Structure 1
Amino acid sequence: MARVASWFLFLCVFFCATLWAQATETPEPPGEEDPDGLSLIEPAPLNLWGIEIATFRAPYRHFSPVSRVANTQERVRAIAVAPHYRIEFVPVIEEQYRGGWVMVNDERIIGLLTVDAPMGVGLEAYAEQVMDNLRQWLERRDAQARPKVLLFGLLYSALATACFVLLVFLLQRGRQRLLSWLEAHHNPKLAGGLIQVGGIQLMPYVMMLLTGIARLLLFGIIALFSYLWLTYVLRQFPFTKGFGHRLTDYIVGIASDIGLAILHSIPDLVMVVLIFWMASGVSEIVRNLFLRIERGRLRSPLFDPETAKATRRIIVVLVWLFSIVVAYPYIPGSDTEAFKGVSVFIGLIVSLGSAGIVSQVLGGLIVVYSRAFQPGEYVRIGEYEGTVTTVGVLSTKIKTIKKEEITIPNAVLLNATSTNYTRLSKPDGVIVSTSVTIGYDTPWPQVHHLLLSAAAKTEGVRETPEPQVRQTALSDWYVEYRLLVHIDDPEAQVAVLSELHQHIQDEFAGADLQIMSPHFMAQPDKPLVPMAWTPPAAKE
């Protein structure tokens, strides 16, 4: 209840300040026409109990409009209470002044000049308005002195206050129950079962948003009811009835302005919806067309399945950007200075932050349209080697044989050399090579035989195409032999080479031949070959 009381006090102070601002609002200055040749200055309104009885727009003799208001207010307040008031207007011409007096029971109360009347309104018509306002104020002043009026006003105000406090209490209780229910649904397990996008649990964030909306909505409802309560209470007493009417007119004016703005913006909103609906339709057509090209259901001389996905994304983005540009003038408020300022700010942020992004995007597009590599291919980019998992807009990811995922920015790909092991591997597989150097005293047919025997014993080496041996160099002390074998899986080349090297060592050791890699100074007296070795477990 303490919180309710504090909110109630805050809203009362806020609405009273609004009321004071409305009560002291200065009317618009009149036009520059002055039929009597009098100088027009800032007008001064005569307000009593929230009723604007008259507005003085010109000086009279040495009395300014403000002085005229002060003198007239004293005369109005000094009107004697009577069972009946005879109010009439008597025209008067005095020297260069033309106007008249509003008489109450044959007493001069309000003096009006011709220039006091608003533009387009004659003096007689304006005098009728002033007399109606004065008559209304006299009726409220007399009613204020009646105990019965005050008693009923207090009674109705007390009932309205009780209903208001009860309503706020019920709203607070409902708010607490609603927030408790929302907090109870912050359970990650429950959230994961409801809303999950890309592995991210969105339900907790949705609940936080709903909690904030519930609190803001409750505050708005309490503020509205507080405004209505204050308006109703002020209208129960003659002294404050005018202020109550001002509050009513104020909120009705705001509601009418909002309603008219909504009605005027409906055609523009319909146009915005129509533009985005057409953009959505075009995007769906583009999506279906390029999906068929990606899946091989449709052949096109301009696009192939490798570039169809990137082309689809580019065209869809361009379609939506074009639709936003076309729909921008129809968005309500787009011509306001605030909207333009926000647009300039967003454009500045985008321009400052897009310098690096543009290079990344261009790098990704170059990779896609140059067909350097695709997801699933085994490549080497710079010092990294592995299988491509993702070719994204900003970066490319590869998975190494050590189960490491490496992210390479697309801007780096523009200056890096890449090797694709998979692109030309079908149908013969990937070529893997290794080299050994053997002295000139060993017959080259024997070396060929030993290398091919090692290749035949290695698992993963294809029989067709057959392994081949090439003599790539005749150096000073030895001959360089290169063994070429074919494998099916590029990712297995490290394991295949490891096993192939083992068999090469075994074959040459069995033939008492020394592998001369990398260099040697002279032929040894006895070939250096490994001795036979038995595992410890076999010895036991």
Structure 2
Amino acid sequence: MPLLRLLVVVWFAISAAMVTAQDEPLHEPLEAVAPGSVDIWGMHITTVRAQYRQYTPKERASTTVERIRSIPVAKRYDVSVNLVQEQDYKGAWVMVNDQRIIGLLDKDAPEKLTIGEYAEQAKSRLELWLERRDAQQKPELLVKGAIYTAIASLCFGGIIFLLLRGRERLLAWLEKRNNPGANASRLQVGGIYLLPYLVSMLSSLARLLLMALIALFSYLWLAYVMRQFPYTVGFGQRLTDYIVDIVTKIGLGILGSIPDIVMVLVIFWLASIVNDMVKNVFSRIERGRLRSSLFDPETAKATRRVIVVLVWLFSIVIAYPYIPGSGTEAFKGVSVFLGLIVSLGSAGIVSQVLGGLIVVYSRAFQPGEYVKVSDYEGTVTTVGVLSTKIKTIKNEEITIPNAVLLNASSTNYSRLAKPDGIIISTSVTIGYDTPWPQVHHLLLDAAQRTEGVRDKPEPNVRQTALSDWYVEYRLLVHIDQPEIKVAVLSELHQHIQDVFAEADLQIMSPHFIDQPEQALVPAPWVAPDKAPATDEPK
């Protein structure tokens, strides 16, 4: 129903436009009058552009076609041009055996032709049409055309057959190659076997190419067949002229675009040379082979990427006017569409890119360093353009968008680890009845027993709080590698429990409510396989 309503509205709009056009005065400007084309049997004879009295160009063209059709068949045609002038009208008549057939006005002729020259063109085309009309009455020409049509049809069928067989053989050859054999290693990228995808893509391309070739040969066959018969030779000539015009335009366009293409290639070639120079310089800075007061090895890689992107963008801007078709409306439409897409999606991308650059140039952390970002802790594996990847101690890879890094606090454990290592700490709470020197001694003893704790600088103990019921002691130790922080703390806690159990001292953490009647000190634990043997029966 909506479609029917739309059609009704369009019909009334067209009808109203036609009525309005009929009610317009006859003295309408010439530019607003549509020209009329005199075409018969697919052959163009002439074009009338001016209005004669109350007759529009299209009405004049229709009347002229009727006159041409009414020309009687004769053994000889006397076609001539007579120049005439009638009141305010000046023009010419194309006569056939003293019969007026084509009437032309001086305003019908293009600017570069006189009315006489324009009438001579119409005369030549009319003579050619008369010859074709008379040839249509000859059976031998029809038989000859039929024979040529049959031969062309056989050739066309053979070409289509060969195209179909060729496509089948190509697809069969591709299927034979589609097996994970000796060529598998050559067609793998990132562990992905690419041959099935290539086979699918080539199969689709083969089908598209077959359809395009069938359409092309069908077009050529139809144009050739139409040119074999006088009645349809005009249509066949139009088809031939159309494809010849397309090929000519494409060829001339390619030839005319050669200087611009050469300029584009030169611009991109110069851009590649500049990029190679930039990569060479900054790669040497990154490896430490070249020292610069402006750049250092930590920021050389990011700087190289930024400069390379800017060089290519600058080269594209310079080469844009020389790209063939850059001034066409279609190219402008595509440019507007791409610009709209970039505008809608660039806000998030720009924030990510700027976040990555800020991380790099602020030297917050680099690949290989052990860091903590928000709630994530691990080793930095990649500082990319859009995100940063961290590998945790649980062998998990965490991807953090660079935009998040702009608003998150980070801790770098590796930056100051040399030469004294990093400091890790743990705390215990012991009652006031235990002398503090004894607590210091026990904590330092636990640190000495822990593997990974450095002797220099020496571990030390700080009394960080004097609470209501206990004293808080904090043990500070140094380790070399921040990656083993969790493992060292785990072992350190074990040894702290052991030393306080050996000294019969209670750790009053995390909360203290009342002093127990008996000290809550765990008994030393012995593994079952190391327990002493007893004489008790099993």
Question: TM tier, shorter chain?
Answer: 0.7 to 0.9
Spell out, residue by residue over 1:56-114, the C-alpha distance to the aligned partner (whole angstroms, 9 max, x if none): 44456666555554554454444444443333334445555554544444555444544
Equivalent residues of 2:417, 2:481 under 8 A apart? no
2:273 is the counterpart of 1:298: no
Picking from 197, 202, 208, the partner of 2:200 is 208
Picking from 386, 391, 400, the partner of 2:392 is 400
Aligned to 1:238: 230
Secondary structure in 2 matching 1:354: helix
AA of the residue aligned to 2:413: Y
2:271 is the counterpart of 1:267: no
Alpha-carbon distance, 1:134 to partner: 2.4
Distance 2:84 2:518 in 1: 144
Distance 1:431 1:326 in 2: 55
Aligned to 2:416: 424
Matches for 1:139-288 after TM superposition, within 5 Å? 139-183=131-175, 185=177, 187=179, 193-288=185-280
Secondary structure in 2 matching 1:415: coil
2:50 is the counterpart of 1:50: no
Distance 1:120 1:293 in 2: 69
Alpha-carbon distance, 1:187 to partner: 5.0
Equivalent residues of 1:378, 1:490 under 8 A apart? yes
Aligned to 1:463: 455
Spell out, residue by residue over 1:118-140, the C-alpha distance to the aligned partner (whole angstroms, 9 max, x if none): 43323433333233222212222
Distance 1:440 1:68 in 2: 121
Picking from 75, 80, 84, the partner of 2:76 is 84
Secondary structure in 2 matching 1:373: coil
Equivalent residues of 1:191, 1:204 under 8 A apart? no
Of stretches 172-181 and 416-425 in structure 1, the one that deviates more from structure 2 is 172-181
Q: 1:147 to 1:359 in 2, by over 3 A?
A: same
AA of the residue aligned to 1:424: L
Distance 2:370 2:122 in 1: 93
Picking from 399, 406, 409, the partner of 1:414 is 406
Distance 2:288 2:128 in 1: 85
Structure 2: any 5+ residue segments left out of the alignment? 1-26, 534-538
Spell out, residue by residue over 1:483-515, the C-alpha distance to the aligned partner (whole angstroms, 9 max, x if none): 222222222222222222222222222222233
Aligned to 2:427: 435
Equivalent residues of 2:298, 2:363 under 8 A apart? yes
2:355 is the counterpart of 1:363: yes
2:477 is the counterpart of 1:485: yes
Of stretches 77-86 and 59-68 in structure 1, the one that deviates more from structure 2 is 59-68
Alpha-carbon distance, 1:168 to partner: 0.9
Equivalent residues of 1:433, 1:485 under 8 A apart? yes
Secondary structure in 1 matching 2:462: strand
Aligned to 1:345: 337
Alpha-carbon distance, 1:368 to partner: 1.2
Aligned to 1:10: none
Aligned to 1:511: 503
Q: 1:90 to 1:333 in 2, by over 3 A?
A: closer
AA of the residue aligned to 1:472: T
Of stretches 359-368 and 127-136 in structure 1, the one that deviates more from structure 2 is 127-136
Equivalent residues of 2:92, 2:116 under 8 A apart? no
AA of the residue aligned to 1:317: V
Secondary structure in 1 matching 2:37: strand
Q: 1:200 to 1:346 in 2, by over 3 A?
A: farther
Distance 2:115 2:403 in 1: 80
Distance 2:437 2:31 in 1: 124
Equivalent residues of 1:191, 1:201 under 8 A apart? no
- Name the structure, 1 or 2, with higher relative contact order (CA <8 Å, separation 6+): 1
Work out the percentage of aligned pairs sharing the same amino acid: 69
Q: TM-score, normalised by structure 1?
A: 0.84
Picking from 512, 517, 521, the partner of 1:529 is 521
Alpha-carbon distance, 1:55 to partner: 3.7
Picking from 329, 332, 338, the partner of 2:324 is 332
Equivalent residues of 2:442, 2:499 under 8 A apart? yes
Aligned residues: 505
Structure 1: any 5+ residue segments left out of the alignment? 1-33
Aligned to 2:7: none
Q: 1:317 to 1:42 in 2, by over 3 A?
A: closer
Spell out, residue by residue over 1:414-454, the C-alpha distance to the aligned partner (whole angstroms, 9 max, x if none): 22221111111112222222222333443333333322222
Of stretches 304-313 and 427-436 in structure 1, the one that deviates more from structure 2 is 427-436
Distance 1:472 1:66 in 2: 105
Equivalent residues of 2:36, 2:59 under 8 A apart? no
Distance 1:321 1:184 in 2: 44
Of stretches 298-307 and 327-336 in structure 1, the one that deviates more from structure 2 is 327-336
Alpha-carbon distance, 1:408 to partner: 1.9
Distance 2:518 2:276 in 1: 78
AA of the residue aligned to 1:271: M
Equivalent residues of 1:188, 1:204 under 8 A apart? no
